[in-house]
Amino acid sequence: MSVPILNVCGLTKSYPSPAGAIPVLRGVDMQVNAGESVSIRGESGSGKTTLLYCMAGLEQADHGDLEWEGRSVIGLNTAERARARAEVLGFVFQSYYLTPELDVLENVLLARRLAGRIRPEDRTRAKDLLERVGLAARLRHVPGKLSGGEAQRVAVARALLNRPRLLLADEPTGNLDERTAEEVICLLLRLCSQEGTALTLVTHHAGFAGRTARALRLEHGVLAPATTA
């Protein structure tokens, strides 16, 4: 049996407050296998984004274990964790996080620039991804000239540039109108399937969550299979 891309075991996380610690995650267990799509829903403030950031090693859990491809992340120092993250994970966020002074192509290539020197094959792949997301004619446009849907398409292409084994998407349609959101979700699911990339999608949208192979819900700090409601 193959090793899961992501293995989360007993993760807990609390935040301090004047009245005492506020528990957000109360022992989360989760696995994501190669090529699998998983969604996580939950009420606003339930801790979905906190869980995603803990999965990505961007936020430190209080207790529990986190493994990427069978390797424990908890004991790694910051530099080691960053290197491992760059090899395994890709990200799509609600707010796009494009660099305003760079054009579309350079924004996509930024994923490679952060990981090392840009090679000719990286430019070829970036252009191919931008063509696949429908932006072949927008390579030299800066983000300020893009619509919200176009900006999120750039973010999807950037996230896939380094061929991650797992893509983490945090409310990727949260800033989009319904029709554009539908287009972006279809694109995200299609590209991950084509690339063989596992996907963990945090979303408040029941319809989008239902399109993943497995749907979970975060309630009272723990994950459980989502209902159809």
The pLDDT of residue 181: 94
pLDDT winner (highest mean) among 8-12, 81-85, 110-114 = 8-12
Residue 190 lies in a domain: yes
Confirm if 12 and 51 have CB atoms less than 8 A apart. no
Statement: residue 104 has pLDDT above 70:
yes
Statement: residue 75 has pLDDT above 90:
no
123-161 pLDDT, tens per residue?
999 999 999 999 999 999 999 999 999 999 999 999 999
Confirm if 72 and 79 have CB atoms less than 8 A apart. no
The DSSP letter of residue 45 is T
Q: Which helix H or strand E contains 66, and what residues bound it?
A: strand 63-68
Residue 206 lies in a domain: yes
The pLDDT of residue 228: 53
Statement: residue 103 has pLDDT above 90:
yes
Residue 145 lies in a domain: yes
Kind of pairing, strands 214-219 and 222-225? antiparallel
Range of 141's domain? Answer: 6-225
Statement: residue 226 has pLDDT above 90:
no
Residue 174 lies in a domain: yes
If pLDDT is split at 50, 70 and 90, which confidence band does 34 have?
Answer: very high
Domain count, the chain: 1
Residue 1 lies in a domain: no
Give the Cα separation of 31 and 50 in Å (integer). 17
The pLDDT of residue 1: 60
The pLDDT of residue 44: 86
Q: What is the 3-state secondary structure (H, E, C) of 176-196?
A: CCHHHHHHHHHHHHHHHHHHC
* pLDDT (average), residues 187-216: 95
If pLDDT is split at 50, 70 and 90, which confidence band does 7 have?
Answer: very high
- Mean confidence (pLDDT) of the chain: 93
Q: What CATH number is associated with residue 202?
A: 3.40.50.300
Residue 60 lies in a domain: yes
